[in-house]
Amino acid sequence: MKLNHEGVLDRAIQIASANCDERPDGEAVSLVVIHSISLPPGEFGGDAIERLFTNTLDYAAHPYFETLRDVRVSAHFLIRRAGGIVQFAPCGKRAWHAGASCYAGRERCNDFSVGIELEGTEDIPYTNQQYEALTALVGALLGRYPITGVVAHSDIAPGRKTDPGPSFDWERLRVAPHRG
Ligand SMILES: [Zn+2]
């Protein structure tokens, strides 16, 4: 698995999101933020996550979706339960995943991070295939960018965000830089 110079992953299904923009001038990717998401919460499969990230969610399809009206978000990557990867924005662009956040004294982590969503919840174990795909993906990112940290969304937005939660086992993210 490898990333081209724009930050497009060869092994991902590409679904373009409009919920991204340019990074500030000269800003390099230096942080990886791990998230979790499921829509509706606790239900896996379906296309609601892709729809949320592409502003095509049918808000009437589920009561929870009503709470997402006017929400404009995305992430660079989504890793499905079976390990498939979907990419919504090239890593060279700024995806809108972290919100108000702070890492090592720097705010607005979207400016300098790549966001990876794991399809899941904070209390159901993530799958073996997800750990395998995540490890390979983070390895590819380390090979392409001067990454100084891999963190949870909850680490950079404490008190506001709790994902990916206690169900995420950091011990299973064994990353070695891969230069392909
Ligand atoms: Zn998150």
Q: Which residues of the chain have pLDDT under 70?
A: 176-180
Q: What pTM value is reported for the model?
A: 0.96
117 is catalytic: yes
Task: Report pLDDT digits (tens) over 27-75.
Answer: 999 999 999 999 999 999 999 999 999 999 999 999 999 999 999 999 9
CA-wise closest residue to 91 among 178, 179, 7, 2:
7
Catalytic residue among 27, 43, 117, 132: 117
Q: What's the CA-to-centroid distance between 103 and ligand 1, angstroms?
A: 14
CA distance 19 to 96: 6
Ligand 1 centroid vs 60 CA: distance in angstroms?
24
Q: 162: CA distance to ligand 1 center in Å?
A: 8
